Amino acid sequence: MSLTPAPVTSHGDGFFTWHAYDPSCKAELWSTGFTHPGGTVLFDPIDWPKDLPLPTPPVQIVRTNENHGRNCQDFCSHPGTGMTDQPPDFTPIPLPGAGVGETAYFHNPTGSLVMGDALINLAPHDLMPLPDKYCTDPGLLGKSLRNLAPFPVRRIFFAHGAPILQDGLSRILHLLP
């Protein structure tokens, strides 16, 4: 990757995002980070903003699906950085039917949900499920999204689109069949 990302934006409670347009896939790519006393977790990281130092190790990298290699290998080349599918204090929520290995991650202490591709929030459209043409099984994805309903989601962070910073669960429930 060789993108020019926007500056990091803090969203409170340890969460931050950064994003860039990728002309190769004609989409805005978003990455989410979370800092905690034991280090930093980066979800689907794209290129890091060049004017900022890298996060202080230890750093854990999470891919929300198999399509999100993005800049993971480059980050993992730095000392104290490695891949995980079980970041501390996050509950993984498998969402079959979107991309291969699609998993959302819920952080209960802050009510924050980190999504991969199953839900997108790109202008000019509102929050929506991944379009059928990109799904492995669109019908199954519709059913899988119901797995999010039991979680008290306040905020949603996306791999594609600006975060929703309030009323996250009600926004998800409007999408369910």
Q: What is the pLDDT along the chain (177 residues), one digit of tens a residue?
A: 567 887 899 999 999 999 999 888 888 899 999 999 999 999 999 989 988 999 999 999 999 988 777 767 788 888 899 999 999 999 999 999 999 999 999 999 999 999 999 999 988 888 999 999 999 999 999 999 999 999 999 999 999 999 999 999 999 999 987
CA distance 98 to 171: 19
Cα Rg for the chain, rounded, in angstroms? 15
The pLDDT score that the predictor gives to residue 84 is 95
Look up the CATH architecture of domain 9-173.
Answer: 4-Layer Sandwich (3.60)
Q: How do the domains of the chain map onto residue ranges?
A: 9-173
The pLDDT score that the predictor gives to residue 2 is 66
Q: What is the pTM of this model?
A: 0.94
Enter the tokens of residue 143: 């059913």
The pLDDT score that the predictor gives to residue 1 is 52
Tell me the per-residue pLDDT of 88-134, one tens digit each, with 9 for 90 and over.
Answer: 999 999 999 999 999 999 999 999 999 999 999 988 888 999 999 99
CB atoms within 10 A of CB 47: 19
What values do phi and psi take at 174, rounded to 5?
A: -65, -20
